[in-house]
A and B are shown apart, each in its own frame.
Chain A
Amino acid sequence: MAGKYELKRRRFLQTTAAGSALLAAPFIGLRQAHGQAAIKIGAQGVSSGSHADYGRQIQMGARFAAEEVNAKGGIMGRPVEILYRDDELNNDVALKNARFFKEQGVNFMVGTDSSGVCLALGPVLPELDLIQIFTHAATEKLNEDLVFKKGIKHIFRGSVPVYQDAILPALVFKDNKDIKRIANLGADYEYGRTSWAMFHSTLRKHRPDVEIVGEAWAPFFTADFTPHISALLAKKPDLIFATPWAGEAVLMLRQATTLGVFDSIQVWWQAMGGSVDVMEGISRDVVQGKFKNKLWATARYIWNWPDTPENKAFVNRFTDRWGRLPNYSAECTYSAVLALKAAVEKARSTKTADVIKALEGLELSTPAGKRFYRPEDHQAVYNVPAGRVTYDKTVAPIAHLTDLKVFPAADYFRKPPFN
């Protein structure tokens, strides 16, 4: 009996180990057909798990830009072609995808959702001799360390970095005297760690009386945040700073409402809560007033700002094309393709070194407003507001941000030499 049992157990452990290895194995991404003289752009983002909509948005933004560019004659007469792959938020997969793109002869790359992944991918770009415009990953280490300090010129970022997630809310809430006790519910990786550090240090510079009362960290693929939320509530915070994003933000906010969080706190800052998929997911809870007007957020672009004809036209065309409002990763990727087009046309070349030069200091009109690629750290500077989450069916079929607070990015973005 014991022997047989032992056998069963060993069999179980072996099976488990082998199967787990399989679970980690890469899924095959999508690839689109490619033509001859096309300018090829390799795009990657996450297309699996709770964050899958972000890869979808990167894909929609890139393809939509390519379609529009091609309808107007392409880039210097050459059509644009998009190749897309799922990076699974995984460094190794992302590197493999980049090498695959290189083999396929892509001219440029765009995308990447995770801060962890961007730090792994950035340093290999010179070896691949490829420029990538990152369009979502937000860690400041990308522009401050890799570009500015280490001089990796192949890296650009067309989306706002964690300054947006972390410094902006400190400016928005510094004058709110009801906020004395702050707590963090962080995404347990580079992005969450760096955002929280930047937020509390900026806020406490303005408000030395503010006290950090609790921290909880949740890794990717957390299904249940109730232990984290409940642990923080035990410390009676006035403000909760939350960085899990995408589907995880949606379910975390639902779990927060079940725990009665919004009866006891003043503000819940959901850094990337302005994202369209999060707004879609929480709309009904917003309609029912579950967040008691205490939920605040920003994004890397919101469709209802700026109030310009260019942005409105973009939102309409995008919504007609895909049946959904554009999320920030869609707009950032769309605008990154436009930036590459502008740079190639300015350089009259697709050579990496020429395009790098052309992108540095490029100023470009995009749906989100004017984007300026700082030459020192290759970071695009543009404004995105923060706001309170609300619902008004005369404005949009889903929840959106209101009470918009706009601060000039050129002021609150950290600046070279980043001391």
Chain B
Amino acid sequence: MTFDALVYQGLIGLSLAMYLWLLAAGLTIAFGVLGIVNFAHGSLYMLGGYFAFTFYETLGMNFWLSLLLASLSGAAIGSVMERFFLRYIYHLDLSYQILLTFGFVLIFADAARIFWGGIPLIPPMPDVFDSTVPIVGRPFPVYNLFVIFVGFAASVALWILLDKTSWGETVRASASDREMAGALGVNIPRLFTVVFGFAAMLAALSGALGTPVRAMTPGIGTSVIIDVFIVAVIGGLGNLPGAFVGALVIGLLKAYGVLLFPDADLFMTYLIMALVLLFRPKGLLGGR
């Protein structure tokens, strides 16, 4: 295997990792702050993709605007889910949480089938991205570079938002002690709605980013969520840097697995997850 092939495959893996990272970031934030394991997180990815398709392809909007509107639509749906549904089950048993979010998975998948049909939808590649640049002597898609850029930009934005702003401070305070934050005057219910909407927005952004290269189908939500859970388990929960590292591990593993172990690439993902659970049961960055 040449060094060039490894570099190229690494970049492919990095772009895969970025979709996962945006998803895992949302899942982690929702779990860290609200304590909700949102099975419908993958469905929000799906809806983000479908919305982007509708704005960009059906309504003929500009690609950037459709990305933005699709993300905001995801945020709106997330906020409604929290405000009118999740809010009523925080005090109930864990199984209600599963049933409710899983119910959303089914509802969203069927809704997608009704609105957009069962056939995979894939819009044309936007002209700005419809080209390649040579990397180690091979054509590399400009779009993948864009996805990598968005992933890193989102990391910086999240870091600033959560670590450098007072809103971020409030969020972190509520994550570590909900009652105390409430006692100090934080409007917890409203914060929860906003945070859950924000998490949903990240999932929708990931889905919207995927539209020109990863066709949307009603079942895509359930297939992505499994990888995202693996990312969360590997990275360590409620831990954003952990989610980032977990996404990188899985993205690169998927890419290098196909190149180096074509007969065992799927097994590799589960092997790594098993090893992490055995030796670092709190995740790679979940120590202490």
Contact = CB atoms under 8 A, between A and B. Distances in A.
Contact of B223 (A1, A22, A49, A56): A49
Contacts of A311: none
Nearest to A263: B139
Contacts of B281: 9
Contacts of A246: 120
B226 interface: yes
A15 B16 contact: no
A406 interface: no
A284 B266 CA distance: 32
A216 B288 contact: no
Interface in A351-377: none
A322 interface: no
Contact of A251 (B12, B101, B214, B258): B214
B238 interface: yes
B16 A215 contact: no
Interface in A229-252: 230-231, 233-234, 246-247, 250-251
A280 to B, nearest CB: 7
A202 interface: no
Interface stretch (A67-75, A220-228, A292-300): A220-228
Interface string B69-106: 00000000000000000000000001101100110011
Interface residues of A, number: 58
A307 B97 CA distance: 58
A259 B144 CA distance: 10
Interface residues of B, number: 70
B215 A281 contact: yes
Interface in B10-55: 12-13, 15-16, 19, 31, 35, 37, 39
Nearest to B35: A8
A20 B215 contact: no
A16 B232 CA distance: 10
B79 to A, nearest CB: 22
Interface in B207-222: 210, 212-215, 217-220, 222
B98 A18 contact: yes
A280 B120 CA distance: 10
A53 interface: yes
A396 interface: no
Given A12-B31, A47-B118, A258-B144, A18 B215 contact: no
A16 B102 contact: no
A50 interface: yes
A297 B102 CA distance: 39
A231 B98 contact: no
A20 B226 contact: yes
Contact of A223 (B210, B233, B237): B210
Interface string A249-291: 0110011011110010000000000000100110011001000
B39 A284 contact: no
Interface string B270-283: 00000000000111
B217 A247 contact: yes
Nearest to B210: A223
Nearest to B132: A260
A217 interface: yes
Contacts of A56: 118
Nearest to B225: A23
A188 interface: yes
B240 interface: no
Nearest to A14: B94
A346 interface: no
A216 B258 contact: yes
A215 B262 contact: yes
Contacts of B132: 258-260
A223 B225 CA distance: 12
B262 A19 contact: no
A231 B255 CA distance: 8
A78 interface: no
Contacts of B102: 19, 22-23
B215 A231 contact: no
Contacts of B186: none
A335 B37 CA distance: 48
Contacts of B155: none
A48 B215 contact: no
Nearest to B16: A224
A5 interface: yes
B266 A250 contact: no
Contact of A15 (B94, B113, B119, B226): B94
A2 B236 CA distance: 13
Given A216-B258, A259-B140, 8 more contacts: A8-B35, A12-B31, A15-B94, A227-B9, A231-B9, A247-B119, A260-B138, A281-B215
In the A-B complex, the 8 residue pairs with the smallest Cβ-Cβ separation, listed nearest first, are A49-B219, A247-B120, A260-B139, A52-B118, A234-B5, A221-B223, A258-B141, A251-B215
Interface of B: 1-2, 5, 8-9, 12-13, 15-16, 19, 31, 35, 37, 39, 94-95, 97-98, 101-102, 105-106, 109, 113, 118-120, 122, 124-125, 132, 138-141, 143-144, 210, 212-215, 217-220, 222-226, 229, 232-233, 237-238, 254-255, 257-259, 262-263, 265-266, 281-283, 286, 288
23 contacts: A5-B286, A19-B98, A20-B226, A23-B105, A48-B218, A49-B217, A50-B217, A188-B266, A221-B223, A223-B214, A224-B19, A227-B13, A233-B138, A234-B9, A247-B119, A247-B120, A247-B217, A251-B213, A254-B212, A255-B213, A258-B141, A258-B143, A260-B132
